[in-house]
Structure 1
Amino acid sequence: MDPRSEVLLRQADRFAGRLLLAGLPADDLLGHLPDAQGWSWHAGDQAALTARFGPRVEFGTAPSAVDFDSAVLFVPKSRELTDYLVASLASRLAGRSLFLVGEKRGGVERAAKQAGALGPLRKLDSARHCQLWEVAVTEAPAAPDLEALALRLNLDTPAGSLEIVTLPGVFSHGRLDRGTALLLEHLDRLPTGRILDFGCGAGVIGAVLKRLYPHCALSMLDVDAFALHSTRLTLQANGLEADLLAADGIEHAPRELAAIVSNPPFHQGVHTDYRPSEALLRQAPRHLMASGELRIVANSFLKYPPLLQDAFGQCQTLAEQDGFRIYRAWRG
């Protein structure tokens, strides 16, 4: 069981009535708290929890309208996202308690002390490198408008000017990262057919692809509900269309793709996790048509060429700049 869940269960007698667990891990916590409901914005965790606990877990960027007596926030890595989540939950908890749990190095103490502006704050437990805090909400904030928190970027791209909309917690919030910028310069001569933007984030790559290849069918996949919401806003801002997929890996992508384009993620919370990216490299050929192609950007230090060579039989470096490389691999 996740250490954060273990810390919660040490204080389980505090969670009387209807409890909302926000950002909960995919473990057995709900099995120990039969009156609790879950809210997840991670598609992989949502799928695993739904398989075990059915409709007790919802997926999205805001809690449902169902009332709850208290809530626990599993504090995420992003400060901006934490601020939004605290406000969303506290707005529904006037006179009741909001609990925050997280790893010490993940910012739980900072988040708790900032939430202390809402009411009396106390630390309840500290174990397994985690902390649990309680805020008795006396100053409930107004429910935040998520879209009002969006940052909008006007970018000059190889496909022309585009407006990119980023939400709190989404990769590269409020800016264009250097790796993606380099990849945008090397999206020419892709095969004709359906294209997948894997790990679409705020939708930068997919929006450029749709402008460069307006007749292609475009799918955009991400594990995060906030990323998909950002992508949806980016597409709307530019008058573009695509199929959006909430999933945690390439195995959930369509088959017979002409191309997969990605700035593959390799961070999860405060921990580094290369598994989704490495799975993409190994499994991409199964999702590509006979002449299909994978084109990605990656940090130069990552040992991706051997994986691509094993999976495809060939790998080409198209560019290298500022610590990033563009790789092209294709089915022969």
Structure 2
Amino acid sequence: MDPRSEVLLRQAELFTGSVLLAGLPADDLLHNLPDASGWTWHFGDHRHLGQRFGARTTFGVTPPEAETDTAVLFLPKSRELTDYLLATLASRLTGKLLYLVGEKRGGIERAARQLEAFGKPQKLDSARHCQLWKVRIEQPVPAPDLTSLAQRFTLDLADGPLQVVSLPGVFAHGRLDRGSALLLEHLDGLPSGHLLDFGCGAGVIGSWLKRRYPASQVSLMDVDAFAVEASRLTLAANNLEGSVFAGDGIGDAPEALVGIISNPPFHQGVHTHYQASEELLRQAHAHLERSGEIRIVANSFLRYPPLIEQHLGSCQTLAEREGFRIYRAGKR
């Protein structure tokens, strides 16, 4: 059981009736709170919860429409995303209670101050290295417009400007990270066919691929609903077409790809998490055509070349800069 869930269950009498658990972990909490429902923007968690609890969980960037007696937000990593989530939950809870739970090392004490926008926060519990806070929503709160919270910026690339629309919570929100910048410089000469931007974030790589290779089919995939929505917005801002969808790792990717391009994620919340990246390297061959290849950017300290050579073929280092390396491997 996730320690944040354990803290909630210490106060289980507070969470009877219809409770919306926003950003809940994929554990047994819904089993212990039989009248509660879940809302998540992590596709892997949604799939796991859906297999056990069916329609009691929803996935997306907005909460389910059904009325609820109260709501609990499991603190995300991003402060901007926390602002949006608190506001969108508070807009449905006038006169009711909104709870916030999170790990101390995740910044729960700082985040609790964000509750002051809605009332006077009160700490209810501190255990399992987590804290539980509440606030009563005394005044009506307008529902936030997610797209109005987007950060829009222009990348001046070698082949012309690219418009980017980044949403709260998306990796490298409002900027181009150094790894992706380096990767963009080493994407020439890709085979013609179906290309995948794996872990697409705000859609920078996928949009560039579609512009550079207009005859190719381009798909963009991410585990995060806010990244999926941001990628759709970025494609639209550049008058480009692509298939954008949520997936929990390379197993959800299409087959018969000629190229998998990725700045693979290795953080989940406040935790370092390499599983998705390592599974990508182990399973990419099953999704590539015989002439297909993979190009990724990774921190220099990560020992990816042996894994790439074990499962794909000879690994080339195309570039190295500022602690990042670009790796390329063709399917053998």
Interval of TM-score (by shorter of Structure 1 and Structure 2) = over 0.9
* Deviations 1:203-251 (CA, angstroms, capped at 9, x unpaired): 0000000011001011111000000000000011111111112111001
Aligned to 1:4: 4
Q: Which amino acid aligns with 1:49?
A: L
SS in 1 for 2:196: strand
Q: Which amino acid aligns with 2:164?
A: I
2: distance between equivalents of 1:253 and 1:93?
A: 38
Aligned to 2:297: 297
Contact 1:159 1:208 in 2 (8 A): no
Instruction: Note the C-alpha offset of 1:313.
Output: 2.6
Q: Which amino acid aligns with 2:317?
A: T
Instruction: Note the C-alpha offset of 1:162.
Output: 1.0
Aligned to 1:229: 229
2: distance between equivalents of 1:324 and 1:16?
A: 49
TM-score normalized with structure 2 length: 0.98
SS in 2 for 1:211: helix
1: distance between equivalents of 2:93 and 2:86?
A: 10
Q: Which amino acid aligns with 1:161?
A: P
2: distance between equivalents of 1:113 and 1:165?
A: 28
Aligned to 2:131: 131
Q: Is 2:38 the counterpart of 1:38? A: yes
Aligned to 1:76: 76
Q: Is 2:109 the counterpart of 1:112? A: no
Contact 2:16 2:33 in 1 (8 A): no
Q: Which amino acid aligns with 2:7?
A: V
Aligned to 1:244: 244
Aligned to 1:54: 54
Instruction: Note the C-alpha offset of 1:141.
Output: 2.2
Q: Which amino acid aligns with 2:58?
A: E
Aligned to 1:23: 23
Instruction: Note the C-alpha offset of 1:287.
Output: 0.7
Contact 1:19 1:68 in 2 (8 A): yes
TM-score normalized with structure 1 length: 0.98
Instruction: Note the C-alpha offset of 1:301.
Output: 0.9
Instruction: Note the C-alpha offset of 1:188.
Output: 0.4
Contact 1:118 1:140 in 2 (8 A): no
SS in 2 for 1:17: coil
Instruction: Note the C-alpha offset of 1:158.
Output: 3.4
Aligned to 2:142: 142
Q: Which amino acid aligns with 1:279?
A: E
Aligned to 1:163: 163
Contact 1:98 1:136 in 2 (8 A): yes
Contact 1:201 1:222 in 2 (8 A): yes
Instruction: Note the C-alpha offset of 1:116.
Output: 2.4
Contact 1:118 1:139 in 2 (8 A): yes
Contact 1:147 1:167 in 2 (8 A): yes
SS in 1 for 2:207: helix
Which residues in structure 2 correspond to 1:246-285 (within 5 Å)? 246-285=246-285
Instruction: Note the C-alpha offset of 1:120.
Output: 2.5
Contact 1:163 1:238 in 2 (8 A): yes
SS in 1 for 2:155: strand
Q: Is 2:201 the counterpart of 1:201? A: yes
* Deviations 1:242-301 (CA, angstroms, capped at 9, x unpaired): 111211100110111000000000000010001100111111111100010000111111
SS in 1 for 2:328: strand
SS in 1 for 2:156: strand
Contact 2:202 2:230 in 1 (8 A): yes
* Deviations 1:143-198 (CA, angstroms, capped at 9, x unpaired): 11000000111111234211000000000100001110110010000111100000
SS in 1 for 2:210: helix
Instruction: Note the C-alpha offset of 1:139.
Output: 3.2
Give the % identical residues. Answer: 65
1: distance between equivalents of 2:225 and 2:313?
A: 35
2: distance between equivalents of 1:66 and 1:273?
A: 34
1: distance between equivalents of 2:298 and 2:313?
A: 19
Instruction: Note the C-alpha offset of 1:4.
Output: 0.5
Note the residue ranges of structure 1 that are not aligned, 5 or more in a row: none
2: distance between equivalents of 1:208 and 1:27?
A: 38
2: distance between equivalents of 1:216 and 1:100?
A: 45
SS in 2 for 1:5: helix
2: distance between equivalents of 1:210 and 1:299?
A: 26
Contact 2:259 2:293 in 1 (8 A): yes
Tell me which stretches of 4 or more aligned residues in structure 1 moved more than 2 Å.
Answer: none
2: distance between equivalents of 1:213 and 1:172?
A: 25
Q: Which amino acid aligns with 2:129?
A: H
